[in-house]
Structure 1
Amino acid sequence: MPKKDQKTDMAREKDREKWMARFQVRLAMQPGVDRAVVLQAVKDVTGHCAGTGEHPRTAFGDPDAYAVQAAARLVPADRAARAKQHNAVVDALGSVLDRTGGLAGL
């Protein structure tokens, strides 16, 4: 049976993994974010936490909010703007299709 310290370490590790998973998902949802951006952000977070021993929540706060900050820092503004514009067009088209009941054959 694991000792109390081992249970605490296991719980801390599970919480760290949950934070990282949430961060990655939210980051990937940001406009203009690609695989390279996600990998760089994860490398930045894990490197910081490994060097300081801090939990990512302690170092970076809420994973959703930090995902927005990381995207703003790592994604070039023009690429993010193009992605936002593309998403708006896709959303508008989806809305039209929803209202018309879709188009036969699409």
Structure 2
Amino acid sequence: MDVFKDRLSQRALDTSRPALAHQCQGRPLSPAEIALKDALMEVFATGTHDFAQVAAELASRRVAAPVSGRSDWTEALLLEELSAINADLDAAYRDRGYGA
């Protein structure tokens, strides 16, 4: 993914449109979303993929949920948070994303 983004960024610079590489996001991720993303990548890197185990690991790390602000992660909360973030990113893309 980073290789693609790097190539797109370079091509965007060549066309004097450096924002093109991020245009498809619709909106930037919030600091809480970035913290969750980083924590999820660390958890997944250990080979843990089961939602209940991922939630337990997020709770042990006291990662704040981006939407609710909770840190008492459960499998249900993980699903709710990811669904809400996805819906919001989809709406932002629809409203402001590349090709919208």
Given the two structures, how large is their TM-score scaled by the length of structure 2? 0.30
Given the two structures, how large is their TM-score scaled by the length of structure 1? 0.29
Considering fraction of residues, name the structure with more helix. Answer: 1
Greater Rg over alpha carbons, structure: 1
